[in-house]
Amino acid sequence: MIRRDGTWLYRGSPIGRKELVCLFASVLKRESDGSYWLETPAERGRIDVEDVPFVAVELKWSGNGQDQRLSFRTNVDQVVTADAGHPIRVAHDLLTCRPTPYLLLRAGSDARAAIEARISRPVYYELAALAEPRWVGCRRMLGVWSCRSFFTLGEFPVGESAVGEE
């Protein structure tokens, strides 16, 4: 099982060796029905995942505006740069409306087969600090640029004005 916080378990106990978790992560697959599997040439076993299997725990950024580049490190030390092929998306809890951001790590045969990392709360706050307002359709949104792609993080607060606006 993989907990929401990114902890990998074997028979209810956390796997303490990061190298072993990284090895399992390298053979993780996802089916179009949303199920996760550990698959080697010799074996295949289903694994339960509370949310998504990985957590983005660190952000490195360089550049400004459209030329900004946002790279994330996951809890298994995979580094992925947000771009058109690795978008950031924000889901909202139906009860609390609390945002939960995700980064696409590996595309699948369809959206349900994709493998994502949940962006940790501290990293999300770093993203929010880099956010800028932009009109997306008829809605004013806050978002971030990475590799010439704009990723929305949420709506711009009503009644607020952006720096430089009057």
Is residue 123 within 8 Å of residue 59, measured between CB atoms?
yes
CA gap 5, 143 in Å, rounded: 25
Is the alpha carbon torsion for 59, 62, 63, 67 positive or negative? negative
Residues 6+ apart with CB under 8 A from 67: 145, 148
Q: Are the CB atoms for 84 and 147 separated by under 8 Å?
A: yes
Q: Superfamily assignment of 9-155 in CATH?
A: duf1285 protein (2.30.270.10)
Q: What is the DSSP string of 145-163?
A: EETTEEEEEEEPPTT---T
Give domain limits for the chain. Answer: 9-155
Taking only the tens of pLDDT, the chain with its 166 residues reads 999 999 999 999 999 999 999 999 999 999 999 999 999 999 999 999 999 999 999 999 999 999 999 999 999 999 999 999 999 999 988 888 889 999 999 998 888 899 999 999 999 999 999 999 999 888 899 999 999 999 999 888 766 665 544 4
Q: Residue 130 has what DSSP assignment?
A: H
Q: Which of 77, 97, 81 is nearest to 155 (CA)?
A: 97
CA distance 34 to 15: 23
Q: How many angstroms separate the CA atoms of 132 and 129, rounded?
A: 9
Residue 110 three-state SS = coil
